Structure 1
Amino acid sequence: MDALWSAFEPHIVELLGVILTILIGIASRQLAAWTGIEIEKRHREALHESLMSGAMSTIRHGPGAGLETLKAHAITHARRSVPDAVKALVPGDGVLDTIAERYVREALSRLDRHAFD
């Protein structure tokens, strides 16, 4: 029995090493994917929050300026306050504009509702 174990021991250890290497590789890929998703999520949240605060601040300083001007100010605010998020996410043409318009319109509607209170 000892002779049989001695003959197969190096092969068993080698097989266990291969299995362990595969498991570590899978775990590291999963961790990298998860952390990448978390980082992207944080960038998206930061960008949205920045556009929202930019929209609110531009409304406070001049709600009559017009939608295009207010959107431009909100986008400028976002680009200055979270440049890493903008750089990491690389929003396509019109994406920031669309999101900014949403938040500017929401801010304007809140302002209208409060004006009648």
Structure 2
Amino acid sequence: MLALPAAASTGSDLLTTLTPGLLDLAGVVLTALIGLAAVRFQRWTGIQIEARHREALHSAIMTAARVAVARGLTRDVATEFVAAYVRASVPDALKRLSPSAETLDALVRSKLLEVAGH
């Protein structure tokens, strides 16, 4: 019977010795998990912000394209009108997405054709 309390005492001493190390390990793991969650949240919010800017850009192009077609503007004049409208109405979206001039021009011409076809 004397061996039992000695064994219990040794287990308790071992636990007491390991506790600071286990707490440090738990802290490192928790910090890593928080860091991973923060990175994923930033990616997700970045994607959401980009989607809102893309939607605003497309909406502005469509609005101006409808006006240009309703006014009967020629293709070149309509393209410039839509591009100017977009630069004035959604500058933040253009800044965030930073499409090349060729990409924006192609998008504008595509939306003009789409609106004219309806």
Unaligned runs of 5+ residues in structure 1 are: 111-117
Are 2:66 and 1:56 equivalent residues in the alignment?
yes
RMSD: 0.9
Match of 2:95 in 1: 87
Unaligned runs of 5+ residues in structure 2 are: 1-10
**Identity, % of aligned pairs?**
35
Q: TM-score, normalised by structure 1?
A: 0.88
Moved over 6 A (4+): none
Deviations 1:21-70 (A, max 9, x none): 00000000000001001100110111011001110011112x1x311110
Question: What SS class does the counterpart of residue 6 from structure 1 fall into?
Answer: helix
Correspondence 1:1-117 to 2 at 5 A: 1-61=11-71, 63=72, 65-110=73-118
Distance in 2, matches of 1:15 and 1:91, equals 46
In terms of Rg, which structure is larger?
2
Distance in 2, matches of 1:95 and 1:76, equals 15
